Chain A
Amino acid sequence: MFGLLPYIVKSLWRHRTRSLLTISGAGVALLVFCFVGAVQHGLLALTESQEAGSTLIVFQENRFCPQSSKLPEDYSRTIAKLPGVAAVVPIKVFTNNCRASLDSIVFQGVRPEQLKQFRKLTLQSGGWDGFTRQGDGALVGQAVAGRRKLKVGEKFTIGDVSVQVAGVFASSDAAEEALIFTHLDFLQRTRGQNEAGLVTQLEVHLADGANPDTVAQAIDTEFHAGPVATTTRTKGMFQADTLSDLAELIGFIHWLGYACVALVLSLVATTTVMSVQDRIKEHAVLQTLGFRPLRVFRLVVTESTVLSIVGGGLGVAAGLLFVGWSGMSIAAEGVTIAFRPSWSIAVQGLIASLAVGLLAGIVPGWQAAQTQIVSALRHG
């Protein structure tokens, strides 16, 4: 069949406008497929990562937006003494938009030494010393820095928070690259906040072998009768609860991904049917020369597969480049889902293109293989 590849390519090139339109249609559809895949991938990474199960988030009871959760910072000392707790990181969260938004900016105020210890950040520019010394210094995730074109030394203001960029970081956790870290006390005292001694949440790192449910229950029991009751969940559960509305929406849009695949199927199948109908006589000639019906079938299926793979491949490449380059993310109530390219999405996209190409060729391939030679030569 490889020997006939030039014939297949030339046949597709014969109707180049039709072929290129089909390829571009398949490309756009697969681009959307990859984009949807990247969103889902980001959501899964948040809720199913290893850290999501081994770290607890303590939030104020019956509060959902970070602006309304106000826990005493000194709860951290009490929690640190509970069995199974290795460390507690108080975090103040500020976001310019509690609702779901593609351009939410989420600040997290963390003590610099704890930030260095508990976050795997790799500075792309700037330095830790500058951040530590500078009260209003901020370490900006590279996705935000890219989106907002921020550089080290620049000052910027969002809402009531004004900071100076002390560094731009990359992280193994893509969602973190959509965050801005500041000093905890800076965010507590910044204009309009004035919440010294209060934090949004406490991040509890568990000792090896500790049972997350047991520790979470112990924390909530401890503060049940205190001034501010708490709700403690694993980080994964906390993020899933926080993003539940968004997760439903994302769950719905995965059907959009399937719709894109169906669109490619329809597009490629239509083009291939048209191509076969244009060449009824040509397929009869091939059979006269000795091409078996099965070989004619394979020729047609290969044509549809080439269209689908080329279009799909371009769409996958464009989709992943776009997602990677744009650094897009969506945030809701202080939790960020980062859209990230991945090999698994690329492989899924290519497998979908291959499957669609094969499927799209079956009916027209069958038609071509069943050509009645004499009738097609006479009337084709």
Chain B
Amino acid sequence: MALVEVIAVSKEYQSGEEIIRPLDGVNLTIGEGEFVSLMGASGSGKSTLLNLVAGIDQVTSGRIEIAGTDITQLSRGKLADWRAAHVGYIFQTHNLIPVLTAYENVELPLMLLPMSAAERRNRVGIALAAVDLTNRADHYPRQMSGGQEQRVGIARAIVANPTIVVADEPTGSLDDNTTEQILTLLQRVNRELGMTLLMVTHDTDAASRATRQLRLERSELYENGTRLAPRALRTA
């Protein structure tokens, strides 16, 4: 069953005199429970596509439906509410709030949802346990290693039990050992918690951990070397 449907999506923006069009009529379907990796050359638009699916950027044309909601039709405020309830975002550089402890960072998305304090405590406890950081709950980001920070970032992304987790080069700033730990963790998130993941990466090994491996080239998506549904014609 399709959870994410990207339909004829184009994205363009102005850079000085030039109009850049990283995505031009892209189509993509992601099923519920899939772990999809997305690779591509620099500037191919893979991060742009991920940001559009995460609802933090806006399409120039086309539609993105996630669990039946066309997020391209939502206002900024409604889109923020939708992100709070449906998206977990894992950044490359962790982006934890430096003045908050690991516990407080993980709790932050839950503050936006209608939930009792006891329920929040319970969920944060489970998320921290899932990333094996219960004993670091009171630590601030500056007191943790890069790998631990990224694990807190993953806990923050999954704590609200989102519809989809998106990860933008989650191992891009980590050493090999830590990368292995994080990828294993992401696989567990997918297999054990049943969450749908979309991960952008440059790393072929990292991509191979996903259940589907996609490559984006000139707005065409390839899976295992085969081109997916043809690029939609731009109407504008």
Contacts and interface: CB of A to CB of B under 8 A. Distances in A.
B99 A289 contact: no
Nearest to B166: A288
Contact of B56 (A14, A281, A287): A287
B95 A290 contact: no
Given A290-B85, A294-B77, A377 B100 contact: no
B81 A289 contact: no
Interface string A3-16: 11011001101100
Interface residues of A, number: 24
Interface in A260-313: 281-282, 285-295
A292 B80 contact: yes
B25 to A, nearest CB: 20
Given A289-B84, A291-B112, A14 B98 contact: yes
Interface residues of B, number: 26
Contacts of B82: 290
A6 B109 CA distance: 15
A250 interface: no
B51 interface: yes
A315 to B, nearest CB: 26
Contacts of A13: 99
Top-9 shortest CB links A-B: A290-B84, A10-B99, A292-B80, A373-B56, A290-B83, A285-B95, A374-B57, A292-B77, A290-B112
Given A290-B85, A373-B56, 18 more contacts: A7-B104, A13-B99, A281-B95, A282-B95, A282-B98, A285-B91, A287-B56, A289-B89, A289-B108, A289-B109, A289-B112, A290-B82, A290-B84, A292-B77, A295-B80, A373-B51, A374-B57, A377-B56
Interface of A: 3-4, 6-7, 10-11, 13-14, 281-282, 285-295, 373-374, 377
15 contacts: A7-B97, A7-B99, A7-B108, A10-B100, A282-B95, A285-B91, A286-B97, A286-B108, A290-B81, A290-B82, A291-B112, A292-B76, A292-B80, A292-B81, A373-B57
Interface of B: 51, 54, 56-57, 76-77, 80-85, 87, 89, 91, 95, 97-100, 104, 108-109, 111-112, 156
